[in-house]
């Protein structure tokens, strides 16, 4: 039996605790900081990745049969589409046999590889979840500020959904990891990033992803790096491309516009005869919605068309001259124009320079060689302007400006378009008409089945591809 005094003490001790518990989640609780709200906002979109692969121990293999052993790995991923598409780093899933994803609710799912980009160290994997996943709130890296508060979420050393905080230590870092992997334009942060954080988000205090954690400085403390999300989204768009994954093209070439005030996708060009042209899309249109997905950039446009059967009619919403319109887009109709442009494994190719002769051989007449380029490739070229040189930067010696890519021509069918800068053909620089004359000599091209090319595209960087030539030339 409690005495009256004991009961009163118990009651009074209990009441403050009850009040504390009831106010812990209140909106006016000073403990619920912007950082706490941001973590709650984004946590459902972060997944933990566990991998396994078979490694062979070849010690003393001259005398014994090599033994195999299972090696485990870990990483983090970000949900980019509610149907189970997840982005992570390529090095997280490279050369592994098994990928397992753990969601915030504890559900564990098998994952499969979808596509990857070694150069930019990014990959897409997919899980088949019982219900739609929560897509990570998208931010922009265009307004990242030095010393602003950020936090990282990831599978640090296997401790799932670990949250660390810090500030932006530097912007625009170039980091070389080894002979085969380097990164450009990274965000440096002192938020603790550990093995297992790779592929996870770097977020601002609004809970928006502004970067993808990718690397740490070995031997250093609190020096980590993240890919800016605006750069990463361009790669994600290519990895989710319906043409890349299914061979179905849409005919839209567009530019992501990312500013602190707006994120939008503006059409640069619509290929004649494509599904986009049949739909009625035009240059200058702002794509705003497709298949119920709000469009912020090219990645949203591509995922809106992903997995949609050929022949399906979708509503595409646009802004044209400030006016809202909705057009019917039929997936897979029209000319299936392949875009063979892919990321260059090295932005430093081509490396061959056309030899310069000391003989007084005259420079070919400009119309003659450029007409030949137009006849063979359907490509109209012009010399670079000062503003073009500022776009490509000092890494490249120069190139030639693409003023038009003829509809149905070889160049257009393989992804080259107006506004690109042609850096090289067949592994040779294309700095001027003399280069073109040498590269397209009959004796050189008559037996070629393909002609490799490298271009520079604003907002995308260096891209490479190859053009299938129509048989032997006479």
Cα–Cα distance for residue pair 319/382, rounded to 1 Å: 32
Instruction: Pinpoint the alpha helices (H) of 342-424.
Output: 366-377, 386-392, 410-413
Q: Report which of 385, 386, 379 is spatially closest to residue 402, judged by C-alpha positions.
A: 379
> Which of 311, 279, 316, 326 is closest to 294 using CA atoms?
316
Number of H helices, E strands in the chain: 12, 25
SS3 for 258-281 is ECCCCEEEEEEEECCCCHHHHHCC
H or E, element range at 316: strand 313-320
| Unique residue bearing structure tokens 């750069």 | 231
Q: Which pair of tokens denotes residue 255? A: 């530019």
Other beta carbons less than 10 A from residue 384's beta carbon: 18
Dist. CA 107–CA 116, nearest whole Å: 25
**Residue for token digits 């997840």?**
86
User: What is d(CA 229, CA 208) in angstroms, rounded to the nearest whole number?
Assistant: 10
Provide the token pair at 102. Answer: 């753990």
C-alpha distances in angstroms, 51 versus 209, 236, 327, 328, 431?
24, 21, 44, 42, 46
Based on C-alpha coordinates, what's the Rg of the chain?
27
Q: What whole-number distance in Å separates Cα of residue 396 and Cα of residue 28?
A: 56
Task: Confirm whether 91 is a catalytic residue.
Answer: yes
User: Reduced to 3 states, what is the DSSP secondary structure of residue 195?
Assistant: coil
DSSP summary character for residue 44: G
Q: Are strands 98-102 and 46-57 parallel, antiparallel or unpaired?
A: antiparallel
CB-CB contact of 294 with 317 (8 Å): no
Give dist(CA 189, CA 202) in Å, integer.
Answer: 9
- Please confirm, yes or no, whether 121 is among the known catalytic residues: yes
The label of the residue with tokens 């589409």 reads 81
Annotated catalytic residue within 198, 241, 249, 274: 198
* Residue from 45, 81, 120, 121 carrying the catalytic annotation: 121
- Measuring CA to CA, how many Å separate 73 from each of 92, 156, 190? 7, 11, 24
From the number of C-beta atoms within 10 Å of its C-beta (0-12, 13-18, 19+), residue 44 rates as middle
Residue with tokens 């195999």: 68
Q: How many CB atoms lie within 10 A of CB 65?
A: 6
By annotation, the residues acting in catalysis are: 91, 121, 198
């Amino acid at each position: 039996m409690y005495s009256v005094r004991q009961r009163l003490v118990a009651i009074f001790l209990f009441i403050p605790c009850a009040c504390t518990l009831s106010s812990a989640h209140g909106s006016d609780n000073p403990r619920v900081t912007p950082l706490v709200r941001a973590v709650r906002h984004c946590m459902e979109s972060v997944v933990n990745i566990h991998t396994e692969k078979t490694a062979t121990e070849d010690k003393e293999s001259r005398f014994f049969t090599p033994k195999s052993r299972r090696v485990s790995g870990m990483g983090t991923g970000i949900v980019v589409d509610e149907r189970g598409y997840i982005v992570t780093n390529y090095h997280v899933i490279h050369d592994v046999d098994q990928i397992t994803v753990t969601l915030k609710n504890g559900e564990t799912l098998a994952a499969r590889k979808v596509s990857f980009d070694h150069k930019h160290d990014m990959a897409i994997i997919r899980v088949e979840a019982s219900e739609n996943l929560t897509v990570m709130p998208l931010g922009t890296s265009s307004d990242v500020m030095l010393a602003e508060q950020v936090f990282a979420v990831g599978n640090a050393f296997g401790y799932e959904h670990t949250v660390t905080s810090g500030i932006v230590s530097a912007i625009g870092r170039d980091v070389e990891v080894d002979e085969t992997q380097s990164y450009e334009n990274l965000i440096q942060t002192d938020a603790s990033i550990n093995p297992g954080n790779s592929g996870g988000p770097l977020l601002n205090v609004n809970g928006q992803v502004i970067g993808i954690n990718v690397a740490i400085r070995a031997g250093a403390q609190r020096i980590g790096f993240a890919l800016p999300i605006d750069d990463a989204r361009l790669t994600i768009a290519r990895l989710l491309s319906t043409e890349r994954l299914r061979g179905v093209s849409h005919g839209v070439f567009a530019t992501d516009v990312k500013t602190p005030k707006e994120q939008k996708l503006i059409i640069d060009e619509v290929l004649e005869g494509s599904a986009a042209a049949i739909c009625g899309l035009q240059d200058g249109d702002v794509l705003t919605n497709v298949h119920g997905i709000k469009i912020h950039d090219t990645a949203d446009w591509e995922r809106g068309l992903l997995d949609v059967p050929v022949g399906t009619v979708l509503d595409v919403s646009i802004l044209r001259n400030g006016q809202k319109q909705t057009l019917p887009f039929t997936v897979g109709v029209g000319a299936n124009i392949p875009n063979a442009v892919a990321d260059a494994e090295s932005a430093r190719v081509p490396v061959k320079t056309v030899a310069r002769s000391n003989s007084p051989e005259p420079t070919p007449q400009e119309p003659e060689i450029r007409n030949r380029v137009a006849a063979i490739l359907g490509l109209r070229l012009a010399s670079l302007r000062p503003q073009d040189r500022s776009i490509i930067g000092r890494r490249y010696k120069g190139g030639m400006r693409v003023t038009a890519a003829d509809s149905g021509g070889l160049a257009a069918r393989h992804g080259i378009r107006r506004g690109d800068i042609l850096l090289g053909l067949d592994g040779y620089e294309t700095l001027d008409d003399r280069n073109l004359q040498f590269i397209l000599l009959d004796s050189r091209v008559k037996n070629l089945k393909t002609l490799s090319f490298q271009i520079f595209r604003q907002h995308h960087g260096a891209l490479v591809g190859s053009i299938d030539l129509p048989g032997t030339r006479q």
